[in-house]
Amino acid sequence: MSKSVTFIASPGGSLSGDIRVPGDKSISHRSIMFGSLADGTTRVHGFLDGEDCLATLNAFRAMGVEIEGPDNGEVVIHGVGIDGLKQPANTLDMGNSGTSMRLMTGLLSGQSFDTTLVGDGSLMSRPMRRVTDPVQSMGATLSTAKAGTAPIDISGGVALKAIEYELPVASAQVKSCVLLAGLYAQGKTCVTEPAPTRDHTERMLRGFGYAVDNPSAGVVCLQGGGRLTATEIDVPADISSAAFFMVGASIAEGSDITLQHVGMNPTRTGVIDILRLMGADISVTKEQEVGGEPVADIRVRSAQLKGIRIPEELVPLAIDEFPAIFVAAACASGETTLTGAEELRVKESDRIAVMADGLKILGVDAEPTADGIVIQGGSGFGSGAVESHDDHRIAMSFAMASLRASGDVRINNCANVDTSFPDFVGLANKAGLSIEIN
C-alpha cells in the first residue's frame, strides 16, 4: 500500500439500524477460481469488490479468462474449462491475499505452464511451506524463497498423483490447496483435518457439479480428472466482517443492530458461539439456504459480557474473528483466556502480539502466550495511538474499541481495510461510530 491511511475514532456512541456488510471473501475468491475452470458462463451476485478478491480476479484474467465486472457486486465469468487456462505474461501478484496465494499454489501445480506467485511485503513474509510441502508430495515441481516464503515458482507439465494427507494443523487454506491440486491428480485425493475448518471449497465444488465425498468424520476426498459445470452464485454477507459490528453492539450500551443476509456456514460461526458464551445477546432470524450456503439475519443488542476460557474446539471456527473477540474480552468482567490459536501468529500480522500491544496502549491488561492470550477485562479502554501493522482486521477491531474508550483512538496504517471491507468507515459511521480518515 503506497497511501498512508489513519483512522481517528472518537469515543462513545452505540450501534443501531439494519446494515448489510460486504460479501463473503472466502466465497468470492472461490467463485472466480471455480467459475474460470468451469464449462460455461457463471454469474456471481454479491461479489466482494475488495483488493484481495480483485487480486484473484486479475490473476485469472491474466491467464486468459474473460471476466465482466465487478459491477455493483455482479460478475460474469466465461469459463475456459478445467484445462483451458493459458500462461500469464508476467508473475501473478496476489497483493495481500494469503487465501489467493495458498489456493492458487495447488491449482497452478496441475497446469501445463510455468507460473510465479508474488505479493506485497506482508504476504511475501508469510509461511508457504504448509502448502508447498503437500503439493510437492503429489509430484509438483515448485520452489520458494529460502525461508519458505514467496515468491513461489511453479513448473507446469508435471503429472500429479493423488495423496492421502493429514493436516498437521486445522487450516482451510491448506485443505483447499491440496483439494485443488487433486482436481488435476491421478486417483483419489483425501485430506484429513484434526478439527473442522471452513468448508466453502467442498460446498462450492459440489455446486459446480464436482463430486466431493466425506467417507468419515474429518475426511474429505475427490477424484481427479472431472469437469466443473457453470452455475449461479449468490455471495452472502461475510460473517468475518459482521463480527466487528457484533462485538461493537455487544459492548456499547444501548446498541440494537441487525446484520442482514449473513453467511451462517457452520464452519464459520464460532464467533457467535464464543460471544454467546460471554453473555452476548444475539438472535438469528430469517434462516434460509442460498446456493448451498446457509444465510440469516443476526440481531445483536448490548449486554454485560463476562470473561471465559475459550473452548479450543471453537478456535478454528473463529480464527479470523479473534482480534474483534479480544476487544469484547477487554470489556468483559473477569479474565478471558485463549489457547490453541498459534495460527494467529502467521496471519497478515502476528495478531496475538499486535493486539496485545494495542490493548496495552489503551490501558488493558493483556498478556500474550505462545498460542494465545490472557486478557483481564474491565471498564473498557483509555485513549491513544495503536499500530494496525497494515492488518485490516486489527484496524477494524480497534475502531470498535472506541465505543468504550475514554478518548480518541488513533489507528495507524489502515489502508489495507479495503482488502476485505470497502467503505468500512462509511458503514460504521452510519451505524453509530464516529471515525475520521486522516
Could you give the count of Cα atoms lying within 13 Å of 66 in the half-sphere of its Cβ?
5
Beta strands in 162-272 (DSSP E): 164-166, 185-186, 188-192, 219-223, 232-234, 256-263
Three-class SS state of 301: strand
What is the side-by-side order of every strand in the sheet holding 232-234? Answer: 66-71, 74-78, 41-45, 232-234
Separation CA 268–CA 239 (nearest Å):
7
Separation CA 218–CA 95 (nearest Å):
32
C-alpha cell at 380: 473498557
Among residues 140, 193, 141, 204, the alpha carbon closest in space to that of 164 is found at: 193
What is the side-by-side order of every strand in the sheet holding 141-143? Answer: 92-93, 115-118, 152-155, 141-143
51 contacts 418 by C-beta, under 8 angstroms? yes
Q: For residue 355, give the H/E element and its range.
A: helix 351-361
Could you give the count of Cα atoms lying within 13 Å of 314 in the half-sphere of its Cβ?
19
Q: Which of 49, 320, 390, 418 is catalytic?
A: 320
- Classify 52 in phi/psi space as left (phi over 0), alpha (psi -120 to 50) or beta: alpha
Separation CA 246–CA 273 (nearest Å):
12
What residues have CB less than 8 Å from 362, skipping those under 6 apart? 330, 381, 382, 383, 384, 386, 398, 401, 405, 409
Number of Cβ within a 10 Å radius of residue 84: 14
Is 71 considered catalytic here?
Answer: no
- Classify 286 in phi/psi space as left (phi over 0), alpha (psi -120 to 50) or beta: left
Residue 157 to residues 41, 68, 87, Cα–Cα distance (Å): 27, 29, 12
Q: Catalytic residue positions? A: 320
